[in-house]
Every structure is written in structure tokens, then in C-alpha cells.
Chain A
Amino acid sequence: MFKISIIIMVLSLSIMAKNFNFTELRYSDAIGKTIELQGQITFSKDGLSILYPKSKRALKYFDDTLLYELNNEVVELDFMQQQYMIQYFEILILLHNGDESSLGSEFDINKKQEVIVLTPKGTLKNYINKIELFKENKLLEYVKLYLNNNDSIMITIHDKVK
């Protein structure tokens, strides 16, 4: 309970702001390289959107519907790609909400110093080994997803977008 409360407090503090700049570091085990992407993430009541300004691409996930926009035009995604993205976004939303019972129902929660480690309990464990949340000065610094195929995705949150 104590651990869950910490997560909720941490997330709540950081999430007071709804719109963030972030850096995504994506490690691909296949090519042994890390790719860096810059973007903006916006959490709203019904979902979230991620904008990659450099490539003029956006992913919008509202009311369980995923839209991919390229140069402001909607591009259709194949089913599997959609499912991957939706699951990924569901996790981000879950972490963002920081809802005690929802987090507890999906993950085992452990705190190692400043890092909170979430280990999936249900079907998520088919795709994700663990999720790390790192805080500094009581603010969420990064979220790192360790995937089953040795890939990883780390999202570092910088600041609130004015």
C-alpha cells in the first residue's frame, strides 16, 4: 500500500501538467542501436496524443480509437500495428492515471531506491518484462519499458509545454 501511494503521489505531482516535451530513446536489439525521438505528449480526459514535430507525425488515441496522422492527414495502420500501439498507450495512460487499484491489478510493484519497478501480472507479461519509473525531486523523470525481445523504450519527460 505504501509503495502504491508513493507512485500515485509521484505521478500526481508530475501529471498536474498535462502537456509535456519528451525524449524517447528506443533501443533496438536487432540492430544494436538506440534511436532518439523528440516529441510532445498530451494527456487528456479521454486519451492521449503524441506529436513528433520533426517528422510531422502524430498519434492520437481517444475513446479507444487510434489515429495516425502524417502531415495532418490520417493514415490507416494495419491491425497488428494498431494493437501494439494501443497496448503501449494503455500502459502510458495507466501510469499517468496512477490509479491505485488499476496499477495493483496489472502489476506487482517494487521500489528500489528512487526507482519504482512494475512487473506485469497478466497478459502484459507476454510483451513486457518490467517497467521502471524514476523520480527526482519528487517529479517523474523517466519511464522505461523493458520488452520481452530485449528491446527497450525510455521516455524522459522534460518540462510542461507552455
Chain B
Amino acid sequence: MIKLSNYIILFILLIIGVIFKDSIHISTNLLSLFGSKDAIEKISIADNLGYSKEMLIAVKGFDKESKTKVQEISSKLEKIQNILFVQSSIVPSSEIKAYYEKNYSILSNFTDTPLSSSLIQTKLQELYDEQLNNIFYTPVDKNDPLKLFEFDKNNNLNMSHKGSYITLGDYGYLIRVSTDVSASQMDKAKKLYTDVQNLLNDYENVTSFAPFYYTVENSTKIKDDLSWIIILSSLILLMVYYLLIKNIKLLSHTLVALMSSMLVAGYASMILFANFNALSLAFGMSITAVSIDYLLHYHFHNFYKSKKSIDKNVLYGYITTVIAFGIFSFIPIALISQISFFAVVSLSFAYLLFTFVFPHLDIDEYTQNKDLIHNNKKVKAYIFSILSILLFAYSALNINFDNDIKNLDYQNKKLLETQSMFDSFNKSKLSPVIVQAKTSAKLIDNLHILKNNSKNSYSLANFVKSKSFCQQRKKQLQNYDFKRLNKEINIKASKIGFRDDYFKDAYTFLDELPKCEIKNFDMLKQFSLSTYKDKDSYYSIALVEDTDIANKFDFISIISAKEIFAKVAQQMYKDLLLYASIVIGSIFILLILSVKGKILYALNYIIFPLSVTLAILVSYTDLNIMHIFSLIILMAIGIDYGIYMSNTQKPNNTMLAIKYSILSTFAAFGVLIFSTIVALNSIGVVISIGICAIFILIKVMK
């Protein structure tokens, strides 16, 4: 029975998983790993406001054929599910027209000068003559024949146009499509993407782009990429465990133990973190593979056949690694704290299994091949320490950070080019911000404050007046004698030749003035403008030229993922530096305790791989968050090897264990170097360079 204990543990854990399967929730929101809680909340508000749900379709050229395409495509798009609104013309919708009509007296410019009788006569006469002589058809405004109100619809629009058609700069016509699909909704995004592509395939010279295109196109590429990396990784692991160790029983028990450790860590992480992320899970699982070096060390030193209950080197290695990850689990960066917590639990469980369960599994003894390793070490430890310090200095002088989270994604060149084509032809270079207020009226006030400070901004303020302006205008209109004006107009107009009573309703629209608080802005969705209300506040999006100016106001938040990340990146790197210093300090103390006089020797296993990797990285690229995190993993690997190599009584066996461990680490992390996804490739590069450096140390440091 005890021989099956390893399998029983896994079985119990799987049963627990099945029982609680409904409670298992893994988040896929990448931003939640990097952005602060507040920033993520803002992104979610922006999502509710329709930001990033817009699709753009450009039809090249301005000829008749292009125009026909615009009309055809627009009408076909309207029939597609998940498309809310299609706009190819600046002609206002019926809803906007109704809104303009209702609020005409407030929205338009008003000439507040009493008109003399003779001026009224002259103006009406001109209007009459215009009807007879003007070759342009000009409708008579029976509500405002004297043109006291002037409404400029043109300067409100944030779009270039030719005639009534919206254009994309000099490229061609543009169709703007509002959808209810955001980049995180994979199924909906895939369906809409397919529907739109099927429609556009019938047309030449038509290009489309939407943020959710990345979700659809990249997910396929990422899946393909990961599939073959998993195959490659599995092959290398099989090679390590079977072809080299030639022990199928050990292989099966190891895989079972790793699975159990991952499950325990997964359950614990999901209990502790409300939004435990899939990326953290993937990383955590890879880190679990690091625990193989405990097993290999035990196996090659025949720990399982000895009577010892504990191997001090493995214990020191385990404690040091767990303390390092334990400290990192408190860092206020979700990705790193989640992975670190997962690593602490999984490594601890794996350590317990390898140390206390495996001795009872009846694993075959390892027989040493004495000719296997030749000791040809030549270089003294302090040389590597000096070299490491020099490499750190070189890195510090040349280091640059890449704050753009998008650069971590799969670099979909075709889609990036399409996006940049849309950006380059779009002459309006405006960035979105969220404006917040406690009440709807205050929200409009804030939008006006922003508009006054950022002249070319585009927001609801372009279409809605502030409450105070509205009240002032109403007062102005109430003081104007429109009744007298109406009477005078009707008398004079009849005499001039207008039909009797044609102007009987002139200025009567001012009898009932609109309310100064507009609660529903749905009609402005045509212009991609809306409001959103949560428990405490009202929100709207404004587009501004300079986010720095906008950022000065406390009611404004930046919502571009790029800027949010750039903003938090600085704090994040500060946090990382602080925690890394604590971790390095702790490791240093633990190393002194565990390796005593060989501190420099053991420390080199941490600092040499780190410095070599860092120096190579800074020579050809900017450092991203994944590089940094991989450096931390590299450090965790180095701790164990340093302790094993410093304290070993049987250097050949230890070196062999480390070599196999390095191979398994390469299988878990190093193969990611072949990935086309920047985030994964970054990990692969760091781990591959790092383990090469460790290999050099094993071979030549004495």
C-alpha cells in the first residue's frame, strides 16, 4: 500500500478537483497581472463605455466604385450580429437630429440683440428674394426666419469627410462600426471576425481593423506555437528521464509527484487569489519542474537507499529557494506574487514527496559510472565574482526598460501594419481618457473644464452644454420678447408676399425650454460618445491631444493600456528592486549559514548566470518584465546548485544530478526560446543563457 502512496495522493487531489470543479476559476485578463486595481477598474469602465470595441473599415480611393462599396458593405454590416451601429456618413442620425431639435435653443449660438422693425423688414425681404432668385434650393426656417440662432454642426465632429462620406485621410472612405465585442471576449470576437472577413472577402481594396482582431488572430498563432513547444519540451523531458536515467519507475513516480505538487499549489493559489491568472499558473507549473533537482540529487546520491531521513544540502537548497519566492510573494505585482506563492506551495509539496514519500517507493539504486565525469576545473571562484561584478556594471550602464505591455504579445506583423496604416492616415492624434464625476451634471462640467484646457479635445462637451451655461441661456431667452417678434414677423411677412400664417409658429419653440439636465446620451453613441454609471460615479470618455495636460485634473484617468503599464512600470521596477534586494540579502545570509567558508563559490552560481544573461540582454534589447521575472527564476535555480556544489562530498554525482537538472530546466523553460511570442521567448532566452553560464561554472570553477 505504501508503495502506491504517491499515486493515492494524486488520486485524492484529483477527486478534490472534481468535487470543487465549479469553484475553480482562472482569470485570463493579462492586464490584471500588471495594472493596479484602480487601473484595471478604469479599463473595465472604458470597456463599458465602448472604448476599444470600435471596428474600422477602410475602402481605398474616392471614386464612384469605392462609394458603392461603402454603401453595400455598410448595409450588409448592419445585418451582422454583435454590430450595434454602422456609420459611413456625417449626416446625423434621426436620434441626433431629434436631440438637436429639442435642445436647439441651448446648443446653438444666439444673437441676443433686440431687432428694430426696419431690420426685421429687411431680413424678411431678403429671405423672400432668396426664394425667388437663389439658384440654390434653400429651405425657409419657419421657426427662426430671422436666423437669430446659428448652429454649427461641423466643428463638433472628430472625423474627416469628403462630401457627406467619412474618410480616412487621403487613403479613402471609412466605415466606423460600433460593436459589443471587446478584446477579451474570445467566442464573440471569433464569430464577428469570421462574419466580417467573409463579407469583406468579396471586395478588393478593403481593409479592416479592430482591437479584438488581435485576440482572434493571435490566439490561433499562440496555440500553434505552444503546441509544438509542449511537444519539444516533452521529448526533452522523456530523454532526460528515460534515455539518461533509464528508470521508468522513477520517471512515472516523478511525473505523478510533480502533478500532485502542481495541483496542491493550484488549489491553494485559487483559494488565496480571487483572480488567479492562467499565465501565473503556466509559469508556476514550469517552476515546479525546478524541484526535479531535489529528486535528481537524492537519486544520484542514493539517498533513497540510505538510512538518512534528511539530506542537508537539499534541505538548505529548498529553504533558500522557498524563502526567496516567499519574499517575492508579498510584492505588489500580481504576476510575480501569484507565481511566487504557487512556487512556494508546489516546491514545498514536491520537497515533502521527494523526501518523505519517495524513500518508500522502492526505487532502484543508482549505479555510478566512474568514467563519466572528468574533473578539469581551472578557474578560481573569485575570478568569476570579479567578472560578474564587471558584467553587472556594464549592464547597469546600458540597461533600458521596455514598458509597452503589447510588446510581450505575439508580434502579428500583418495586423500591426494594418493598425499603423489606420493610425498614419488618421490626422487626428487624440488619446482617450476617462472623465469621472459624482453626478451627471458635474460630469458635463468636468468635460467642459477639460475642453477649455485642451482645445482640440473631443467629448460629450462638444454636443452638450454645461448646466450653468444652460441656465444662463434660459434666463437670456426668457427675457427676450419673442411674442412681440412673432407678431411683427407675421404682419410684415404677409405684406411682403409670404403665405399667411406661414410663420405663425416662429419662435414658439422657445415657449417651452428644454431641461438643463440631460440624463440619456444614447443618441451620441453614433459619435462614439456615451456615459456609464456605477455605484458611486458617472464616467465618460474624452479624446485629448496631450494626456499630460489632462492628467493634471483629479477627475481624469488615463485608460490606454500602454500608458497604464508605462505608469505602473516605474513603481513596479522600484518594487522589484526593493524585493530583489531583500531576497538577495536573505539568500546571502542563508548561504553563509549553509555553505560557510565557500560563500563566494556558492554565490557565483547566482551572480554569474545573472550577470552574463543581463549583459547579453542589454547589449541587444530592452529589458521587459518577463526578462526580469526569468532572472528571478534563474536565481532560484542557481541557489540550489550553489549549495549542492559547495557542500558536495561526491562531486561527480552532484555534477551529474545538476547536468540532468539543467536539461530538465531547459525542457521546462529553455525550449521557450523557440517561441514566437515575445513573453515566452524572453523567458527562453534568459533561462537558456543562464543555464549555459551555470554549465560553465560546473565545468571550470574551482
Contact = CB atoms under 8 A, between A and B. Distances in A.
Given A32-B499, A57-B135, A81-B138, A102 B71 contact: yes
A52 B128 CA distance: 21
Given A31-B128, A86-B164, A90-B164, A26 B137 contact: yes
B165 A64 contact: yes
Interface stretch (B92-100, B178-186, B280-288, B388-396): B92-100
A30 B503 CA distance: 9
A83 interface: yes
Interface stretch (A1-9, A11-19, A108-116, A145-153): A145-153
B38 interface: no
Contacts of B152: 79
A101 B499 contact: no
A55 B135 contact: yes
A65 B136 CA distance: 16
Nearest to B141: A149
A136 interface: no
Interface string B461-501: 00000000000000000000000000000000000011100
Interface residue SS majority, chain A = mixed
Interface stretch (B60-68, B663-671, B683-691): B60-68
Interface residues of B, number: 36
Contacts of A90: 163-164
Contacts of A73: none
A65 B162 contact: yes
Contact of A45 (B63, B72, B142, B164): B63
B353 to A, nearest CB: 68
B113 interface: no
Interface string B134-171: 01111110100000000011100000001111000000
Contacts of A57: 135
Contacts of A147: 139
B1 interface: no
Contacts of A77: 136
Interface string A45-87: 1100000100101010101111010000000010111011111
A77 B388 CA distance: 74
A59 B135 CA distance: 10
Interface in A82-112: 83-88, 90, 93, 97, 99, 101-102, 105-106
Contact of A102 (B72, B132, B154): B72
A83 B91 CA distance: 9
B142 A30 contact: yes
B254 interface: no
A46 B131 contact: no
Contacts of A83: 91, 164
A29 B94 contact: no
Interface of A: 26, 28-33, 35, 37, 45-46, 52, 55, 57, 59, 61, 63-66, 68, 77, 79-81, 83-88, 90, 93, 97, 99, 101-102, 105-106, 123-126, 147, 149, 151, 153
Given A35-B131, A45-B64, A84-B139, 6 more contacts: A64-B163, A66-B163, A85-B136, A101-B68, A123-B94, A126-B97
